Amino acid sequence: MTIKYTGKIKPADTCFVFFQKTGETYSLSSKNTELNQLFQHLVKTEDQLDGFRFYPDGKGRLAERVVFLELKPVKGNWAEAFRRAGNSVAKNSRNLSQQSACADFSGLAIPETPTDPVWFSAFTEGFLLGSYEYKTYKNDDSKRKKLKDLSLINEDCSGKTVNQLISSALEVCESQIFARELVNAPGNELTPAELASRARKSAEKHGYSCTILNKKKIKELKMGGLLAVNKGSVNEPVFLVLEHKPKGTKGKPVVLVGKGITFDTGGISLKPAAGMGDMKGDMGGAAAVIGTLEAAARLNLPVHVVGLVPSTDNMPSGSAQCPGDIITTMAGITVEVDNTDAEGRLILCDALEYAKKFKPAVIIDLATLTGACVVALGDKAAGLMTNHDGLSAELISSGSATFERVWPLPLFDDYAGQIKSDVAEVKNVGGRNAGAITAGKFLQKFVSDNQPWAHIDIAGPAFLDSPDGYKAKGGTGFGVRLLTDFLINRSK
């Protein structure tokens, strides 16, 4: 598959033409007179130009078909409009079994900067992410023709740096698709050891480092939380330390931490059967972190990044931890395990303690941590909890730029009362109310007050029950573009 900027219209199976609808008027002013005539004809003969319509063209013309697609800004966010346009082209060319296509954006009246190259990146993202399907175990669509060649056209843009933008977008999207593949892989395939081996392969291929700490090392480090969650399992835990440190980078690193529960049954506090299969995605935080390290390496970002991934499954068995158990974490803080299904925080707290060794500039953890966060925000935004206003602003801004949106929840000290324990320093659950926040308060106990830190609860947007535009059902890879954008801004 090649995707490139060609500037001018070239012959293809299908030409997708984008237009805007402003009130009752249509706007398209392609410099290509043939297209203009077609468009005027359509506007005259059709009452409505909604979404999708194809127009068989005569022989020897520029395309077999012309498909008109409406371009709509999403609340003034043009980048997202272009992502959705990319997805439309992906889905329409798949349905039409097209081998080659061109997408023409000439003549659109885009308010900010009509020649802003951001649309090339965004369109590429929407196209690539929208083309993704999880099909490792499906063999039935192998005969379907795939789009081989896609050209982007905008007669109003100069094309100098455009192909560079397209190829950067491709690096990031491939990293995000790698994250999606990790999330979609079922628990019987993706054990902690398998997660480690895929991270190692990615690191070897793209040039960052990956150290895999095994159970023996985890014991030596006294990671009591990770070991407690692992007690019920036949699979050994791993703790991954990933590092992207290009030559010449000085100063403190950005440390990213990702929850890597390869399957969450709830443990002895067993989850109900309905929907439990989705818990193969309980390593969405880990996938986002590994994917971001891959993206940082692929783009060779001049910023020092460390990724930490504690990983185990959470199983009930005769050897599993029980409610009421009291454990000692790596930080030396004792925890009353009131509910074994609140396991994410038990493995993350050891990673937050381990992070201290890097003297981080900032720590950002990502986790599919609470159902409460899904109740609060659904799958359209992740919950953001942080002790640092500047970091909060950076993440919110990267969230709107990438449309991987984060929304703040407070970490008021009053909430800490809910996780007080009578028998240990802290309890791993805080009751039904403010469940996302009490999880955040638990993690905060493991971070120094003067350490800029953010916790992002991605339980909603990391895994979808039904497709949503360029995000297919299942793992979304949420966090890869958010964090990569954050790192790009940091490296400036």
Could you list the residues that contact Zn ion (CB under 5 A)? 261, 264, 282, 341, 343-344
Residues noted as catalytic: 271, 345
Alpha-carbon distance of 117 to 128, in angstroms, equals 17
User: Is the Cβ of residue 194 or residue 264 nearer to Zn ion in the bound state?
Assistant: 264
User: Is the Cβ of residue 92 or residue 262 nearer to Zn ion in the bound state?
Assistant: 262
Please, what is the minimum distance in Å from the beta carbon of residue 391 to ligand BES? 24
CA distances from 262 to 52, 85, 187, 280, 315 (A): 40, 34, 6, 6, 10
Report the Cα 290 to chain-centroid distance in Å: 11
312 binds, among Zn ion, ligand BES, none (CB under 5 to 8 A by kind): none
Q: Are 172 and 295 in contact (CB under 8 A)?
A: yes
Measuring CA to CA, which residue among 463, 443, 462 is closest to residue 454?
Answer: 443
Measuring CA to CA, which residue among 137, 195, 118, 130 is closest to residue 473?
Answer: 130
Please, what is the minimum distance in Å from the beta carbon of residue 45 to ligand BES? 49
The bridge status of strand 12-22 relative to strand 209-213 is unpaired
Exposure b/e, 128-163, CB count within 10 A at least 16 = b: bbbbbebeeeeeeeeeeeebebbbbbbeebebeebe
80 binds, among Zn ion, ligand BES, none (CB under 5 to 8 A by kind): none
Residues lying near ligand BES in the complex (CB under 6 A) are found at 264, 282, 339, 341-344, 368-372, 374, 429, 435, 459
Q: Are 475 and 190 in contact (CB under 8 A)?
A: no
Pair of tokens at residue 103: 């997408």
Alpha-carbon distance of 179 to 431, in angstroms, equals 32
Please, what is the minimum distance in Å from the beta carbon of residue 175 to ligand BES? 22
374 binds, among Zn ion, ligand BES, none (CB under 5 to 8 A by kind): ligand BES
User: Is the Cβ of residue 84 or residue 427 nearer to ligand BES in the bound state?
Assistant: 427
436 binds, among Zn ion, ligand BES, none (CB under 5 to 8 A by kind): none
The bridge status of strand 12-22 relative to strand 25-27 is antiparallel
Pair of tokens at residue 257: 């931490």
In three-state secondary structure terms, 457 is strand
User: Is the Cβ of residue 42 or residue 382 nearer to ligand BES in the bound state?
Assistant: 382
Q: Are 233 and 313 in contact (CB under 8 A)?
A: yes
User: Is the Cβ of residue 64 or residue 341 nearer to Zn ion in the bound state?
Assistant: 341
435 binds, among ligand BES, Zn ion, none (CB under 5 to 8 A by kind): ligand BES
419 binds, among Zn ion, ligand BES, none (CB under 5 to 8 A by kind): none
Report the Cα 177 to chain-centroid distance in Å: 9
Please, what is the minimum distance in Å from the beta carbon of residue 356 to Zn ion? 24
User: Is the Cβ of residue 88 or residue 368 nearer to ligand BES in the bound state?
Assistant: 368
User: Is the Cβ of residue 104 or residue 264 nearer to Zn ion in the bound state?
Assistant: 264
285 binds, among ligand BES, Zn ion, none (CB under 5 to 8 A by kind): none
Alpha-carbon distance of 101 to 152, in angstroms, equals 9
Residue 294 CB partners (closer than 8 Å, separation 6+): 175, 178, 202, 203, 206, 208
